[in-house]
């Protein structure tokens, strides 16, 4: 194996995560906690929640906070009228379906 082979993404394990903030790059340390890999985030990048959503985008790993409410939806679709809210919250009457009793 040549040195140039070590530069291939196939042979490299991620040791540092680069975080872009206002044109500057900060680094975060990666460490092991038991058999899990963890990232020590700088104070400015800490999350307020106990869980985050994680996804890959190319070589990047993206952590996003999980919203506790639906306020984010207002930003995406805008306000909805009261008729829509009532229709969503309306529960249908319970149906008597004896053929499905074996699921109980």
Averages of pLDDT over runs of 10 residues in the chain (104 residues) are 53 45 74 91 88 91 84 79 86 85 76
Contact (Cβ atoms closer than 8 angstroms) between residue 73 and residue 50: no
Asked, for residue 57, whether it belongs to a domain, the answer is yes
Asked, for residue 92, whether it belongs to a domain, the answer is no
Q: In whole angstroms, what is the distance from residue 93 CA to residue 82 CA?
A: 21
∠ CA 72-75-78, nearest 5°, is 125
Asked, for residue 100, whether it belongs to a domain, the answer is no
Contact (Cβ atoms closer than 8 angstroms) between residue 78 and residue 72: no
Asked, for residue 87, whether it belongs to a domain, the answer is no
| pLDDT at residue 20, rounded to an integer | 47
Asked, for residue 14, whether it belongs to a domain, the answer is yes
Asked, for residue 29, whether it belongs to a domain, the answer is yes
| pLDDT at residue 2, rounded to an integer | 53
User: Could you list the residue range(s) of the whole structural domain that residue 60 is in?
Assistant: 3-82
Q: In whole angstroms, what is the distance from residue 24 CA to residue 22 CA?
A: 6
If one counts the domains in the chain, the total is 1
| pLDDT at residue 3, rounded to an integer | 53
Asked, for residue 101, whether it belongs to a domain, the answer is no
Contact (Cβ atoms closer than 8 angstroms) between residue 18 and residue 25: yes
Asked, for residue 59, whether it belongs to a domain, the answer is yes
């Amino acid at each position: 194996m040549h040195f140039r082979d070590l530069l291939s993404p196939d042979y490299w394990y991620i040791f540092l995560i680069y975080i872009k903030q206002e044109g500057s790059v900060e680094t975060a340390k990666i460490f092991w906690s038991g058999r899990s890999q963890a990232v020590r985030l700088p104070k400015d990048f800490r999350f307020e929640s106990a869980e985050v959503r994680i996804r890959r985008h190319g070589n990047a790993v993206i952590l996003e906070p999980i919203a506790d409410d639906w306020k984010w939806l207002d930003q995406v679709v805008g306000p909805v009228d009261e008729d829509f809210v009532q229709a969503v919250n309306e529960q249908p009457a319970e149906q008597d379906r004896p053929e499905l009793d074996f699921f109980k």
